[in-house]
Amino acid sequence: MFKHLFSYSLKRQIRQKDTMFWTMIFPIILATLFNITTGNAVTKGAVTQIPIALVIEEENENFMMAIESISMMKGPKSSGDEKEDEIIFLTTLTDDETAKEMLYNGEIGGYYIVSASPVLVINESGNKQAVMKSFLDRYEQKETALIDILDQWSGEADYSDILKEKSGEYFIDLPVTRNSISSIVMYYYVLVSMACMYSVMPGINLTANILPNQTPVAARNGLGGISKFKLFYTGLLSTFVVQNINILVLLAYVKIVLSVDLGNEIAYTFLICMLGNVIGICLGVIIGGIVKGKKSTKSLLGIGIVMLGSMLGGMINLDIKYLIQNEYPVIAKINPINALIDCFYSLYYNGSSSKLSLALFRLFIWCVGMFVIIGIMLRRNQYEYI
């Protein structure tokens, strides 16, 4: 019986063109467009060192330290350092005139005028300039937090240890930790999170097929000699399988075709995606079960929620994510896409650390919560209206 239900559910999933569009094709299109607009800024190996110049107009110890932390990573790597292909700044300290000349000669990608508010000078837009701009933006965003951290750095302790220690306190997603192109890669992670959450669509379809008050086909299913729970879990499993394949295709496309470096923790990345898929499907089931109206209305609502969640999670601008996180923490907490992105952040910056475990635990709690709601929803056997 399981084989029968599962195989037909799988067939239906694969043949649902609208769902396949949103869950597989649309994220691939977005990733491609994003790759075109960012000019392959995160293509692995394409940019490894960016020559820059610093013109000191005014003392800014914090900014200099941040630059230095990036520059510290250049040169011979320690034997234990496996992340050797990080992007680094090859910094030249010079005056304004020389910097300008170097810039016009193409010797540097741009230069920073160091002051209380550092300024970036560039004469063209490209990968290197995007990275430099991103670095400056992130520095400005996190300056306050950075000051606090750097205050505690005596110069003897390992800088990365201090960052790790303070990470929980300040949401340290600082660009100076592992990868200076982080903000661009992060957009890809937001995209992957969004793709996971598009599982909301097959989730809505699942409800439409098993709750007898939804569609004639669900009523017919309900009259069969099989319990609603059996129908649900086989449907859930097949949806989960299809969505995971979709995500694998997306990850492969981003990593292989677009050559974006998504880090080395592929197993963890996929684990996060799987949890994201479960949350997406469950959200769809809940929307399908609770919201009254046509399936198309529910689908629109589902897509709207995912798009809004993605936007608040930093899809359009990562600053929005920080703003929401700092100013409206409740919204950030109830946004499942935010929880997913936080997982990717933790993985990307800290690897398989305790912070990642905490973020994964949060995702797990999301899943459990949603299953509880669905369980209550499915327990209902008869309906007032059909």
Task: List the structure tokens of 386.
Answer: 């059909």
Judged by beta carbon, residue 8 or residue 104, the one nearer another protein is 8
Is 212 near another protein (CB under 8 A)? yes
Judged by beta carbon, residue 177 or residue 239, the one nearer another protein is 239
Give the span between the Cα atoms of 160 and 309, in whole angstroms: 32
Radius of gyration, alpha carbons of the chain:
24
Interface pick for another protein out of 49, 227, 264, 354 (rule CB under 8 A): 227
* Nearest to 343, CA basis, from 379, 377, 367: 367
Q: Considering the complex, what minimum distance in angstroms separates the CB of residue 216 from another protein?
A: 4
Is 225 near another protein (CB under 8 A)? yes
Inter-CA distances, 367 with 125, 240, 378, Å: 43, 13, 16
Is 223 near another protein (CB under 8 A)? yes
Is 280 within 8 Å of 196 (Cβ atoms)? Answer: yes
Judged by beta carbon, residue 2 or residue 104, the one nearer another protein is 2
Judged by beta carbon, residue 104 or residue 229, the one nearer another protein is 229
Interface pick for another protein out of 217, 252, 334, 368 (rule CB under 8 A): 217
> 253: which residues sit within 8 A by CB, 6+ positions away?
28, 31
Is 224 near another protein (CB under 8 A)? yes
Residue range at the interface with another protein (CB under 8 A); choices 61-69, 239-247, 359-367, 375-383: 375-383
Q: Considering the complex, what minimum distance in angstroms separates the CB of residue 233 from another protein?
A: 15
Residue range at the interface with another protein (CB under 8 A); choices 1-9, 174-182, 300-308, 310-318: 1-9
Residue position matching structure tokens 């959450």? 197
Q: Considering the complex, what minimum distance in angstroms separates the CB of residue 213 from another protein?
A: 8
Task: List the structure tokens of 316.
Answer: 């359009």
Interface pick for another protein out of 27, 202, 222, 280 (rule CB under 8 A): 222
Is 386 near another protein (CB under 8 A)? yes
Give the span between the Cα atoms of 229 and 215, in whole angstroms: 17
C-alpha 106: how far from its chain's center? 34
Which parts of 6-25 interact with another protein (CB under 8 A)? 8, 11-12, 15-16
Judged by beta carbon, residue 83 or residue 220, the one nearer another protein is 220
> 46: which residues sit within 8 A by CB, 6+ positions away?
40, 127, 259
Is 382 near another protein (CB under 8 A)? yes
Task: List the structure tokens of 204.
Answer: 């809505």
Backbone angles phi, psi at 174, to 5 degrees: -70, 140
Which parts of 181-210 interact with another protein (CB under 8 A)? 209
Residue range at the interface with another protein (CB under 8 A); choices 154-162, 225-233, 277-285, 295-303: 225-233
DSSP output for 103-117: HHTTSSSEEEEESSS
Judged by beta carbon, residue 20 or residue 88, the one nearer another protein is 20
The SS3 call for residue 380 is coil
Q: Are strands 119-121 and 49-56 parallel, antiparallel or unpaired?
A: unpaired
Is 293 near another protein (CB under 8 A)? no
Which residues are near another protein by CB under 8 A?
A: 1, 4-5, 8, 11-12, 15-16, 209, 212-213, 215-217, 219-227, 381-386
